[in-house]
A = this chain, B = another copy of it.
Amino acid sequence: MTNDRYEIRLSGSGGQGLILAGIILAEAAAIYEGKEAVQTQSYGPESRGGASKSEVVISGSEIDYPKVTSPDLLLAMTQESCTKYLGDLKEGGIAILDSFFVEKWPDNANVIALPLTTIAKEVTGKTIVANIVAVGAIVALSGIVSKESIEKAVLARVPKGTEEMNLKALQAGFEAVANH
Contact = CB atoms under 8 A, between A and B. Distances in A.
Interface of A: 19, 23, 26-27, 29-31, 34, 36-45, 47-48, 62-63, 66-67, 159
A42 to B, nearest CB: 5
Main secondary structure on A side of the interface with B: mixed
Contacts of A67: 66
A40 B66 contact: yes
Contacts of A38: 40-43
A169 B38 CA distance: 29
A29 B27 CA distance: 26
A39 B43 CA distance: 8
B41 A39 contact: yes
A143 to B, nearest CB: 19
Contacts of A19: 23
13 contacts: A19-B23, A26-B41, A26-B43, A29-B43, A30-B48, A36-B43, A36-B44, A37-B42, A37-B43, A38-B42, A40-B40, A44-B62, A66-B67
Nearest to A58: B43
B30 A43 contact: yes
A39 B39 CA distance: 8
A42 B63 contact: yes
Q: Which of A26, A27, A40, A41 has the most CB of B within 10 A?
A: A41
A39 B55 CA distance: 10
A31 B48 contact: yes
Contact of A159 (B30, B43, B45, B159): B159
